[in-house]
Amino acid sequence: MFGLDLGEVLILVVALVVFLRPQDMPKLVRKVGKMLGKVKAYWDTVKTDIENIADENDGNSKASEKKKDESGR
């Protein structure tokens, strides 16, 4: 997880508890979860777009190869 080991995660949790009030923690976790959900949705969209472009390019190159084969006969 982002190159953090268990000890570093525990230090972060302790720091959050010290600097934030316990009643603010659920709000923070909720906001972070929503943000991560948006990032994941955006990443999935980008990934799908890249795959679609790659598929289109493969189709175009196959079509041009087919034209070359037909014209060469």
Residues of the chain below pLDDT 70: 1-2, 61-73
Determine the straight-line distance between the first and last CA of the chain, rounded to whole angstroms.
57
Q: What pTM was computed for the model?
A: 0.54
Dihedral over alpha carbons 36, 26, 11, 41 (to 10 degrees): 0
Distances (CA, A) of 36 to 5, 41, 46, 57: 20, 9, 15, 31
Neighbours of 25 (CB within 10 A): 13
